[in-house]
Chain A
């Protein structure tokens, strides 16, 4: 019996027992829909996180910080792993390193004062010095990030800081939402040596205007980032720092394949290294676990549906004993009978799986709409929480058919083993 004739006959049986087939396919559809929906959610979440990871730390970039030791809640930096000019030179000399971009932290307290919408804001702030190359591709073309002899100091802030302000502070205080466009070219006053935590500070306060020139997700979250030489100069003038020391180095590798080797060599120098790949792997591992857990839930539902198909087909074998006998008398082999039942289960599975995929697609769109309505103002959120990719859709379809066919193996085997002479006697 050829596969085409088997499919035609099985389709005929599915049509003949339409209600039963519909119910059985419904079970498969629920299982497949659940699997596709949950896996698409995991994939969508992974994509959203990875997009941010790649954006904040591209795979050719490594961040280097001094090695630290933790003792309960206390954290101590190793005195032998400070990031100074010598460290920058040693790391820059490693083969494959294209560039080393140091980041310095201001060693005196600072406050930022700004006027927005008729209100004055005053906040303590961290001040970091960065090189233009760190954020160059995230700034508008032609934007200057060099300190002039006079005029305001150019500054960059973190995009996540704007998100936090919008979703927390602005909402709580009924303030307007901010965007990078609104903030660009805004001026503020930076008070060096001023702090709301230390009343003794502020005796020697230096007031300096700053101008926001852009937003980046590669600068520290809490604070403003200004040109590196500015912070180095302020540290020398206000904190008496003889030579620059850095809080972090961003190392740019020439090729992504060299990142792991470079990371090993930098760690051998006594520093702690984080790579984009490492973070990506952590995210991948976490989402893999989540995907496995969600996939298992869907698979359990699918297996229950499969057991339903198996039981229904077992009953069907009993009901169709007579028909099986007729088929055998006109030339059906055991393999033909087995094939008929397996193909019938496969068709029910396919029907359910296609329906399940369609259900998952609709459910994902509905969930996106609902989430968009519940969380309308979160810029951190991706456009969709679901990544309905072809591999996920194919996995859903394959699992739906496979589980149905596997569940049909015992009844198909039983049907094939029926003694045709006896079934015709009792028919």
Chain B
């Protein structure tokens, strides 16, 4: 699978003026590749990730998935793309703290067109893959930050996506735990052949990258 950005522009209205988060970005990402997009806060990294994942709409330009314009699709088709082909990992995990690790991991199946026959088995397997087999019934709020991020990765992987899009995945973790998470993402790209895009301001992550893209003020440099 290949995701390509063509002259991507995203503008926001902020305090009565228009701000460009992305200003003519063109780039490509492919399966089996770990790409790292670095840049300072406000450089447009998260906006780029959201546009790659079908979570936002560009002001102009296009995102093409295997040559097809992603944003020409209906909301339902775009949602299916997020459900079946993309797994998001966020800096602040975005888990439901009151629900168990397994319940959080199973959320994508709630909206799946064809849920698997044994969703709980798939959820447990995804948690086992991130070494949380013994935490499946723990409420997410009681887990450590590293464990929560691994639950988020399990949720991203449970529906077997083609791409994992990670937004500052180590931002809330200590160095050692962060390294473990990055190692896991590296495995997904290099051993399982998934496309992985990590956006971060942490330049240390670039050592595992197959390709590094730098964003400054909404432009690739």
Query: Given A328-B55, A329-B55, A329-B88, is A421 in contact with B110 using a C-beta cutoff of 8 Å?
Result: no
Across the two chains, which residue of chain A brings its CB closest to B107?
Answer: A330
Check if A322 is an interface residue, CB within 8 A of chain B: yes
Q: Mark B47-66, 1 if CB is under 8 A from A, else 0.
A: 10010010110000000000
- The DSSP consensus for interface residues of chain A is helix
Q: How many A-B residue pairs have CB under 8 A?
A: 70
Q: Is A169 an interface residue (CB 8 A)?
A: no
Bound form: Cα–Cα A9–B107 in Å = 10
Q: Given the known A-B contacts A336-B79, A420-B55, A421-B56, are A331 and B92 also in contact in the complex, defined by CB atoms under 8 Å?
A: no
Residues from 30 to 72 in B contacting A, C-beta threshold 8 Å: 46-47, 50, 53, 55-56
A73 to B56, CA, bound (A): 83
Complex contact B80–A331 (CB within 8 A): yes
- The one of B50, B53, B94, B111 in contact with A333, judged by C-beta atoms closer than 8 angstroms, is B111
Q: Are B83 and A331 in contact (CB under 8 A)?
A: yes
- Measured CB to CB, the nearest residue on chain A to B88 is A329
A120 within 8 A of B: no
Residues 292-332 of chain A, each 1 if its beta carbon lies under 8 Å from chain B, else 0: 00000000000000000000000000000011011111111
Inter-chain contact B88/A330, CB cutoff 8 Å: yes
The interface residues of chain A lying within 8 Å CB-to-CB of B84 are 331
Chain B positions within 8 Å of A331 at CB level: 79-80, 82-84, 108, 111-112, 159
Distance in angstroms from B83 CB to nearest chain A CB is: 2
Question: Which residues of chain A come closer than 8 Å to B203, judged between CB atoms?
Answer: none
> Would A328 and B79 count as touching, CB distance under 8 A?
yes
Contact A424-B90, Cβ < 8 Å, known A329-B55, A333-B76: yes
- In the bound assembly, the distance between CA atoms of A115 and B84 in angstroms comes to 96
A265 to B90, CA, bound (A): 87
In the assembled complex, the CB of A419 is this many whole angstroms from the nearest CB of chain B, namely 8
Q: Does A335 make an interface contact (CB < 8 A)?
A: yes
B118 on the A face (CB < 8 A): no
Is A326 a contact partner of B46 (Cβ separation < 8 A)? no
CB <8 Å contact, A330 and B83: yes
Per the bound structure, the CA–CA distance linking A7 and B76 in Å amounts to 20
Contact A425 B55 (CB under 8 A): no
In angstroms, Cα B44 to Cα A421, docked, is 13
Instruction: Identify which of residues 110-126 in chain B touch chain A, using a CB-to-CB cut-off of 8 Å.
Output: 110-112, 115
A275-B196 Cα distance, complex, nearest whole Å: 86
> Does B98 count as interface, using CB distance less than 8 angstroms?
yes
Q: Is A373 an interface residue (CB 8 A)?
A: no
Q: Chain B residues with Cβ under 8 A from A334's Cβ?
A: 75, 79
**Does A1 reach chain B (CB closer than 8 Å)?**
yes
For the complex, give the distance between the alpha carbons of A420 and B75 in Å.
12
Instruction: Count chain A residues whose beta carbon lies closer than 8 angstroms to a beta carbon of B.
Output: 24
A18 within 8 A of B: no
Decide: A9 and B96 in contact? CB cutoff 8 A. no
The reply to whether A329 and B94 form a contact with Cβ atoms under 8 Å apart is yes
Q: Is A90 part of the contact surface with B, judged by Cβ < 8 Å?
A: no
Please provide the chain A residues from 392 to 427 with a CB less than 8 Å away from any CB of chain B in the complex: 419-421, 424-425, 427
Task: Check A16 for interface membership: any CB of B closer than 8 A.
Answer: yes
Taking CB atoms, residues of chain A closer than 8 Å to B56 are 419-421
- Distance, CA A9 to CA B96, complexed state (A): 14
A328 to B90: give the CA distance in the assembly, Å. 14
A75 within 8 A of B: no
In the complex, are the beta carbons of A425 and B83 less than 8 A apart?
no
Do A333 and B98 contact each other (CB < 8 Å), given the known contacts A328-B55, A421-B50, A427-B92?
no
Residue B150, interface by CB 8 Å = no
A200 at the interface (CB under 8 A from B): no
Docked complex: A321-373 residues within 8 A CB-CB of B: 322-323, 325-336
User: Known interface pairs A330-B82, A331-B83, A331-B84. Does A424 touch B111 (Cβ–Cβ under 8 Å)?
Assistant: no
- Alpha-carbon distance A419/B90, docked complex (angstroms): 17
In the complex, 24 of the A-B residue pairs with CB atoms within 8 angstroms, ordered by the A residue number, are A1-B110, A1-B111, A16-B98, A323-B96, A326-B107, A327-B111, A328-B55, A329-B53, A329-B88, A329-B90, A330-B83, A330-B107, A330-B111, A330-B155, A331-B80, A331-B82, A331-B112, A332-B79, A333-B79, A333-B80, A335-B76, A421-B56, A424-B90, A425-B46
Extra contacts besides A332-B79, A335-B75, A421-B55 (4): CB < 8 Å = A331-B84, A419-B56, A425-B46, A427-B92
